[in-house]
Structure 1
């Protein structure tokens, strides 16, 4: 490498002699950093989403390539988070691609020590049967001669990431089932 080539590759020289006197652009880039591409450049599409961790509702850009989530970043268009994510939100890619993510329904029988896989239809039937049985067992037509028509056998605790429409539907469902203990984590 000659002296001239070495001087031309020096960032301070490029900054002083080039079109970037403040050193914020091309003058600050080395050869290897100039060849870098963003990890989201190969994404097929970007899907707007909301972070699932808390009630704040930070916006996320979910980058998808070949129908797989490849990256999740803060959404700069979000009026709530303006492109920023907390540490939990920044790690939300692991919710979809992490090795600890389960993709099957797991069930542990009462007094059991092992988890067993169930198909989704069986699991949904078990949940429906248990809701009906708990409602039947805890049903109260009246309390102290006052008509109540309620059950204390089931309750609902909603998550903080449910939106107003989802909370509305959950409230309607559990009220129709006769439940009176309906709460949301975001309010507790």
Structure 2
């Protein structure tokens, strides 16, 4: 601790008249370190919020995400992130994030936890049944080979590669109503 504990006294009596250097420093200031300094590794990623694809650096310490920042090496964003991209750490670590499957039975009023394997089986069964029930071979004598009972609506929280694979999946199943923000 210095003789003059108040920054304003250090500013008025010391060589730092503007109060932007030593006068403004404290023991707490000197002890601060960037959150990114403690990271075990830095993982390159892409912001999940829109179709722009800004580069991100995900800082991981002890297996947990500690910080997400813009990637200066990204030719798209050059290290900058919009407000949503800057807050994307909350998407990963937020306390309200759901980490288990929830299911609400038909005509039910409450959500109940469901095992992931059971949920995946239920989805697969419903996709197969919808495809079987709504398949069209022909319309007015023309071959169409399509499924009118399945539609897909996606968003930009997936990257272009994931949206491309989803588009291929639904097209292979015969769906024609496929839409997402990435516009592939």
TM-score by length of structure 2 reads 0.84
Aligned to 2:39, which of 40, 43, 49?
A: 43
Which stretches in structure 2 are left out of the alignment for 5+ residues?
Answer: none
Aligned residues of 2:148 and 2:176 also touching (Cα < 8 A):
yes
Q: 1:170 aligns with which of 166, 170, 176?
A: 166
What corresponds to 1:19 in structure 2? none
Q: Is contact 1:48–1:59 with CA below 8 Å preserved after alignment?
A: yes
Pick one of 132, 135, 143 that aligns with 1:139.
135
Across the two proteins, how many residue pairs are aligned to each other? 180
Q: Corresponding residue for 2:10? A: 10
- Superposition map of 1:140-155 within 5 A: 140-155=136-151
Distance 1:53 1:102 in 2: 18
Q: What is the Cα-based RMSD across aligned positions, in Å?
A: 2.8
Query: Do 1:57 and 1:161's aligned partners in 2 also have CA atoms closer than 8 Å?
Result: no
SS across alignment from 2:166: helix
CA distance in structure 2 between the aligned counterparts of 1:82 and 1:125, rounded to whole angstroms: 43
Partner of 1:52: 48
1:45 deviates by 1.1
The answer to whether the 8 A contact 1:72-1:92 is kept is yes
The alpha carbon displacement at 1:83 in A equals 1.9
Please list, as runs of the form range in 1=range in 2, the aligned pairs for 1:67-78 lying within 5 A after superposition: 67-78=63-74
In structure 1, C-alpha distance between the alignment counterparts of 2:84 and 2:140, rounded to whole Å: 49
After TM superposition, give the deviation of residue 101 of structure 1 in Å: 0.7
Match of 1:30 among 25, 32, 35: 25
Q: Which has the higher contact order (CA 8 A, sep 6+)?
A: 2
Q: What residue is the counterpart of 2:95 in the other structure?
A: 99
SS at match of 2:128: helix
Q: Matched residues in 2 for 1:128 and 1:35: separation?
A: 55
Query: Counterpart of 1:71 in 2: which secondary structure?
Result: strand
User: For structure 1, which segment, 104-113 or 78-87, has the greater mean C-alpha deviation from structure 2 after superposition?
Assistant: 78-87
User: Which residue pairs with 1:129 in the alignment?
Assistant: 125
Structure 1 residues 55 and 11, CA, compared in 2 at 3 Å: closer, same or farther? farther
TM-score by length of 1: 0.82
Deviates more, 1:158-167 or 1:60-69: 158-167
Alignment partners' CA distance in 1, 2:128 and 2:58: 39
Gapped runs of 5+ residues in structure 1?
17-21
